[in-house]
Chains A and B, each alone.
Chain A
Amino acid sequence: MLLFVSTAAPPIAQSAVTRWSRDLLFHAAGVLTSNIGLVLWVTGVAVSLSVAITYVGLIIALGTLLACRWFARIERRRAGIVLGAPIPERYPPLQDTRWSTRLHMLIGQPTTWRDFAWTGLAGVIGMTLSSLALALWGLVLGLVTLPAWYWSLPDGAELGIFTIDTLALAFAATGAGLVLVPVVGWMVRGLTVVELSWMRWLLSPRAVAAAEAGDAAGAAVLAAAAKSAPADRRAPDAATTPPLDPPMTLPLSLHVAFSLLVGLVLGILWAATGFGYFWPIWVWQGLALSVALDVVILRAQARRPGPERWLWLHGELSLTIATYLIGIWALSGFGVFWPVFPALGLAVVWAVHAIIVYRDRLPLRAREQALAERVDVLTRTRQGALDVQAAELRRIERDLHDGAQARLVSLTMQLGRAEERVAGQPEVAELLRRAREDAGLAIAELRDLGRGIAPPILADRGLAAAIEALGRRAAIPVTVDADPDQRPLPVVETAAYFVVAEALTNVAKHAGGAAARVRVQRDGDDLVIEIADDGPGGADPDGGGLTGLRHRVEALDGTLTVTSPPGAGTTIKAELPCGP
């Protein structure tokens, strides 16, 4: 009952009605062909075996095999009713015309035996499935048209526990029939898929079938066949046969076939024991549940890995369980509709799951995410801008050194030389001297400018050496603890240097000659700079120099903290992110 109802979420290309019509046509034809197949197979085998010792037996065997081949061709076309195109066929040519040789070759071809197998199976599987399909649609037709003929039955129409003997009830049956249309449609779809999966397994060219099953060895066989028999290239590839929906694998179709067999046997048993309470329905439902679970799992396997797959699996399982419970409710005589409670519970759990999976796409989250992305971009671009700026500053400093400063030095030199030559003209010499001194001042100013960008020792020797030099030049005793191998980005290095320089100046100015300790070390992704003194403390964290430092540090996404309790010294701590 539940077979595919719970799994109906197909990527539909055709309308449901078109599909169901095609399925019906497929099964209607199937009832006919499966009868032919059964007769053919039973007769052929029986006659061949009974006269096997004579040539006549061989001839009949040859005829049987060729008839099976003919039957298989018809069946491939029948499959085309649903698939849109017949199942491709490929037979190795039978060149020799001598019947004994042909029989020999036929026997040697696996295709022959698969055709033979399907001819026999069509009589069993095909007939069962197709009859079931027609019966189901017949039931729907009967229910829908009940008002037109219920009166012709003497005791009214017996429908399970109901007896339809009034027009109102008959119309109710019509309604029930209409409701059953999609249910039956999907059930028949399931039967179609089961039968087609058997047909494709047996009737597709072997290599193609193997390739469909993802069998590398089979694909290799196909490739080899294509190479060795170029004339036989007509073999259509797997892509030309449309996929089945729902997906069907051989284990699943075996599962379904086994379930049908058990169901049938139980039905017969029920009939044989005198048509009492229709207990097989409970077993049928159990079998249907197991098949439904099989299908749900297969569908989940076919999906792309990821959280959505689990959400789908969860949803389909919930739906299957809910449908199963509704079935139990119906079979146990309707009554209070208790399945609503577990169904609601399942729905709530699934909804929570869905929210978890799609939380990123909720409108609020989307905004947060957009902001987070924006912050990422801004952080990156700002870092880039700072790096570019630092590099640019160093380039300017170098250009000043090599360009303007060098020219000014050269100018000073020329002026000096000129001065030497006008020793006899004190006024001119004085003018030249003043010009030279001005040039010297310009050089000094450029030098200070360069120092402000980055002191030479920082660029030449690195942060530790530069800080040690700062400590040595400071007007107070300074101990420095800095890792000499530490070479962060120039922009970070420069900021760290100026933090120390400014902090030491502050200590010298305000800490009354107290000693200072400088520590520079890497802590994870941060460069931590700490300048501590033993002075009187009580420093204003927003005081002039400190504010400038804070801006410099914050521009690099760093933090600057000033701890300065009165009477307990001052500690300035800067944390500068400098990447991994």
Chain B
Amino acid sequence: MRAVIVEDSVLLREGIVALLRENGIDVVAQAEDGPGLERIVSGHKPDVAICDVRLPPTFSDEGLRAAIEARKRHPDLGVLILSQYVEPVYTAELLASGEAGVGYLLKERVGEVRAFIDAVERVADGGTALDREVVAELMRARTAGGADDGALGLLTPREREVLELMAEGRSNTAVARALVVSGGAVEKHVRNIFAKLDLPASDDDHRRVLAVLTFLRAGAG
């Protein structure tokens, strides 16, 4: 797998590069600002771009804008945003650019090495990787946004947990591992969730995640 990274802090950039390389991900190029992202993406055609939100020269949401722009030009590019904060407006904008092949993680998640590498691989593979904080915001918005049809209220606490983990982008297997339950149990919860929320059933992990995200986002303002 080929990745590029855009991060202005040398300390973090080099740490992440080392981490990725240790786990068999080929970091083919690095940049430190918004325009640099477009340059290395068109130059190296990577599978995934890992990108900070706050970048020079403006140190505002430069990285996010550059990433969304890059996704428009390179539809196959996976984009994983790393940020020090969750801003629902930003995640909404990112997801609006297409739910497949995107990720938004808090920076400290790089310390959970396995989960982080999974996320990078998932995004590169056209899947989704959302931070649990992002999912929590989505759930909150779904409940509070005024368009709530009360569907989430039908879920049992366990089903809610499963829904949240799915929304993060995890496969059934990964959900089972996280909840320390069997694959079959997760499978049963998922079926119930899809039935209660009236979502189209599917065997494909990616498709199920997308359905969940579409559902959650439909409720957010």
Contacts and interface: CB of A to CB of B under 8 A. Distances in A.
A424 to B, nearest CB: 16
B19 A417 contact: yes
A439 B111 contact: yes
Given A436-B111, A460-B61, A473 B88 contact: yes
B54 A410 contact: no
A42 interface: no
Contacts of B157: none
B9 A402 contact: yes
Contacts of A457: 87, 89-90
Contacts of B204: none
B129 interface: no
Contacts of A436: 111-112
Contacts of B85: 447, 450-451, 456
A90 B84 CA distance: 91
A475 interface: yes
B200 interface: no
Contacts of B89: 457, 461, 465, 468-469, 472
Interface string B90-131: 100000000000000011101111101000000000000000
A444 B136 CA distance: 15
B12 A409 contact: yes
Contacts, number: 102
Which of the four size classes fits the interface of chain B?
35 or more
A247 interface: no
Secondary structure class of chain A's binding surface, majority of residues: helix
A466 B170 CA distance: 31
Interface string A409-426: 110111111011000000
A436, A460, A471, A474: residue with the most chain B Cβ atoms closer than 10 Å? A460
B177 interface: no
A536 to B, nearest CB: 19
B140 A473 contact: yes
Nearest to B133: A444
B144 interface: yes
A473 B110 CA distance: 27
Given A409-B108, A416-B112, A469 B11 contact: no
A140 B125 CA distance: 123
Interface string A332-343: 000000000000
A407 B12 CA distance: 8
B135 interface: no
B137 A473 contact: yes
Interface string B135-160: 00100110111100000000000000
Interface string B39-66: 0000000000000001000011100000
Interface string A461-489: 10001001101111111000000000000
Interface string A440-464: 1001100100110001110111000
Contacts of B107: 405, 409, 443
Given A472-B221, A476-B146, 16 more contacts: A402-B9, A405-B107, A406-B12, A413-B110, A413-B111, A416-B110, A416-B116, A420-B113, A443-B106, A450-B85, A457-B89, A469-B89, A471-B221, A472-B141, A473-B141, A475-B140
